[in-house]
Amino acid sequence: MKALVHEQKSGIDGLQIKDVHSLKMKEELENRIAFSEKHLIKPLIDTIYPFEDYKKAFERLTEAKQTGKIVLKIAD
Protein backbone atom coordinates (compact mmCIF):
# COMPACT_ATOMS: atom_id res chain seq x y z
CA MET A 1 0.00 0.00 0.00
CA LYS A 2 1.77 3.13 -1.23
CA ALA A 3 0.49 5.91 1.02
CA LEU A 4 3.53 8.18 0.83
CA VAL A 5 4.43 8.94 -2.74
CA HIS A 6 7.30 11.31 -2.04
CA GLU A 7 10.56 10.24 -0.48
CA GLN A 8 11.32 11.50 3.00
CA LYS A 9 14.70 11.47 4.76
CA SER A 10 14.66 9.79 8.14
CA GLY A 11 16.79 10.42 11.19
CA ILE A 12 18.46 7.03 10.84
CA ASP A 13 21.33 7.26 8.35
CA GLY A 14 19.16 8.78 5.60
CA LEU A 15 16.83 5.81 5.10
CA GLN A 16 14.21 6.49 2.45
CA ILE A 17 10.59 6.04 3.51
CA LYS A 18 8.32 5.08 0.63
CA ASP A 19 5.31 3.31 2.13
CA VAL A 20 3.30 3.03 5.35
CA HIS A 21 4.91 -0.28 6.33
CA SER A 22 8.36 1.28 6.08
CA LEU A 23 7.17 4.28 8.06
CA LYS A 24 5.96 2.00 10.87
CA MET A 25 9.25 0.09 10.83
CA LYS A 26 11.21 3.37 10.97
CA GLU A 27 9.09 4.59 13.88
CA GLU A 28 9.51 1.32 15.77
CA LEU A 29 13.28 1.31 15.19
CA GLU A 30 13.58 4.90 16.41
CA ASN A 31 11.52 4.01 19.51
CA ARG A 32 13.72 1.02 20.26
CA ILE A 33 16.90 3.07 19.85
CA ALA A 34 15.55 5.80 22.16
CA PHE A 35 14.49 3.21 24.76
CA SER A 36 17.87 1.47 24.63
CA GLU A 37 19.74 4.74 25.01
CA LYS A 38 17.48 5.97 27.83
CA HIS A 39 17.79 2.75 29.84
CA LEU A 40 21.45 2.13 28.91
CA ILE A 41 20.64 -1.27 27.41
CA LYS A 42 23.71 -2.99 25.99
CA PRO A 43 23.88 -6.24 24.00
CA LEU A 44 25.11 -9.36 25.79
CA ILE A 45 28.38 -10.54 24.21
CA ASP A 46 29.10 -14.26 24.19
CA THR A 47 32.49 -14.29 22.44
CA ILE A 48 34.74 -11.86 20.59
CA TYR A 49 36.90 -13.33 17.83
CA PRO A 50 39.67 -11.60 15.91
CA PHE A 51 38.72 -11.27 12.25
CA GLU A 52 41.22 -13.92 11.17
CA ASP A 53 39.33 -16.47 13.32
CA TYR A 54 36.07 -15.92 11.43
CA LYS A 55 35.73 -19.67 10.78
CA LYS A 56 35.75 -20.37 14.53
CA ALA A 57 33.14 -17.65 15.00
CA PHE A 58 30.84 -19.23 12.43
CA GLU A 59 31.39 -22.67 13.96
CA ARG A 60 30.32 -21.24 17.33
CA LEU A 61 27.27 -19.71 15.67
CA THR A 62 26.24 -22.99 14.01
CA GLU A 63 26.51 -24.79 17.37
CA ALA A 64 23.66 -22.53 18.57
CA LYS A 65 24.91 -22.76 22.16
CA GLN A 66 25.95 -19.14 22.57
CA THR A 67 24.38 -16.81 25.08
CA GLY A 68 24.51 -13.41 23.45
CA LYS A 69 26.21 -11.99 20.41
CA ILE A 70 29.20 -13.40 18.60
CA VAL A 71 31.48 -10.55 17.55
CA LEU A 72 34.16 -10.40 14.86
CA LYS A 73 36.74 -7.78 15.83
CA ILE A 74 37.98 -6.08 12.69
CA ALA A 75 40.53 -3.64 14.15
CA ASP A 76 41.89 -2.48 17.49
pLDDT of 67: 92
Q: What type of residue is 4?
A: L
pLDDT digits (tens, 9 = 90+) for 23-68: 788 889 999 999 999 999 988 999 999 999 999 999 999 999 999 9
- Is the predicted pLDDT of residue 11 greater than 80, yes or no? no
- Could you state, in order of their start, the residue ranges of all structural domains in the chain? 8-38, 43-76
Instruction: Tell me how many degrees the CA angle 62-66-68 measures, rounded to the nearest 5.
Output: 120
pLDDT of 16: 56
Indicate yes or no: pTM above 0.85. no
Q: How many angstroms separate the first and last alpha carbons of the chain?
A: 45
pLDDT of 19: 59
- CA-based nearest residue to 12, from 32, 42, 38: 32
pLDDT of 6: 42
